[in-house]
Every structure is written in C-alpha cells, then in structure tokens.
A and B are shown apart, each in its own frame.
Chain A
C-alpha cells in the first residue's frame, strides 16, 4: 500500500512569489493535515482538511491556504513568500481518530 506522497521534494523560490505544494493521502484516508517544520521552531500545525472541508487552522497568516479535492488529495498554497517561510512542509493523513501517517515532506527554500 502506498504511503502519503508529497510533491515536489524540493523547491526554491524568491521573496514575494507564490508556491503550491501537493499531497496525496493513503488510500482510504479522508483527513489531510499540513505541518510546518522550521529550523528551531519544531513542528507547527497549519491546516486540517476532512471530507473536502477545512476543519481547523493553526496560527498562520491568511496567505497560507489550501484545499482538499474530491479524491482527498490536498494542496497547500503560500502567497507572498517571506524568508521565514523556509521550512520543511509535512503532510499527514488519517482516517477518523486513527494515528496520522506522514509523507516525506517538501523542502521549501526562500532566497
């Protein structure tokens, strides 16, 4: 069974640009979660999607947004990129209250 897949693996952008990160959950999982792992800040919760709806949002500005598609895959969009957005972005999926399983992440570097 395929795990959570994320694309791209690495991304380099400049300040002010926009970026879209993608996540495909484990087959059968309906919930997708996004986390930011920035150096020195640990893992911070960004967004939770379930059945196509945004269910919860972490303490991030509105320029972080996303969506979940009917096939349960998800996108994370970040507008007006800032230097401090440089981080590893991790996607996780789960079914109901079962544990979350993570992908390999997308490493975003802002120059």
Chain B
C-alpha cells in the first residue's frame, strides 16, 4: 500500500519570503500522480499543483513549484514571495495511475503560518 509522509507538522514564513514544504512517499508503482492541496480555514481543499511521475520536468504554477525526485520518492513544494493568503494546511497526496485505484492517499498535512 502507498503511504505519504509529511514530516513538518507546522512551518512559518515571513511575508515575501520563500518556504519549502517536504513530502516523501512510498510506492512500488512506476506511474502515478502527485498533488499538493491547500486547505484554508474555510476548509475547502484547493488543488495547488500536480506532477505526473513520468515527467522529469518539475511542475510550476505561478509562485508555486515542486522539486520532484523520483528515485528518492520526494516531492517538496516551494512557495515563493509568500503572501498572507497562503496561510493554510497543505496536504501532499498520491494517486495511482493504474486503473481501478483512483483514490487519493494523503499525508497528515503541514500547517503554514505567514507572518506579516
């Protein structure tokens, strides 16, 4: 079974600075998807960024980028120019690319605080 580990329960960053959230995962599959979701206090889970395992190029979405290290099974999220609105719980998630297993496996989350 796949597992996702986020080793940082809480992180803080100064506004306008850069922060990196860590995520590691365990799987025996070669093809899969990885995601970062953001959950603000309003509680809706919002997709931040996704990465297909077969793509070597790291995904980027505006101020958000990932460092995907497939051999190390590592998938970290970098937030540049942090803004107060980035404060939220961040969840790393894994999804198999094999048919019949569409569920997301989530890490425990990292609570990000942004200080003005």
Contact = CB atoms under 8 A, between A and B. Distances in A.
Contacts of B108: 42
A43 interface: yes
Contacts of B43: 88, 104-105
B102 interface: yes
Contacts of A105: 43-44
B84 interface: no
B109 A42 contact: yes
B2 to A, nearest CB: 11
A43 B102 CA distance: 15
A34 to B, nearest CB: 10
Contact residues of A: prevailing secondary structure: strand
B25 interface: no
A45 B105 contact: yes
A50 B102 CA distance: 10
Given A42-B108, A97-B97, A99-B50, A56 B44 contact: no
Interface string A43-67: 1010010100001101000000000
How many B residues touch the partner, as a band?
A: 20 to 34
A102 B50 contact: no
Interface in B22-67: 33, 35, 37, 42-47, 50
A99 B47 contact: yes
A56 to B, nearest CB: 6
A105 B106 CA distance: 16
B26 to A, nearest CB: 16
Contacts of A35: 104, 106
Given A42-B107, A42-B109, A43-B91, A55 B45 contact: no
Nearest to B37: A102
B100 interface: yes
Interface of B: 33, 35, 37, 42-47, 50, 91, 97, 100-109
12 contacts: A42-B106, A42-B107, A42-B108, A43-B91, A45-B103, A97-B33, A100-B47, A102-B37, A102-B45, A102-B46, A104-B44, A105-B43
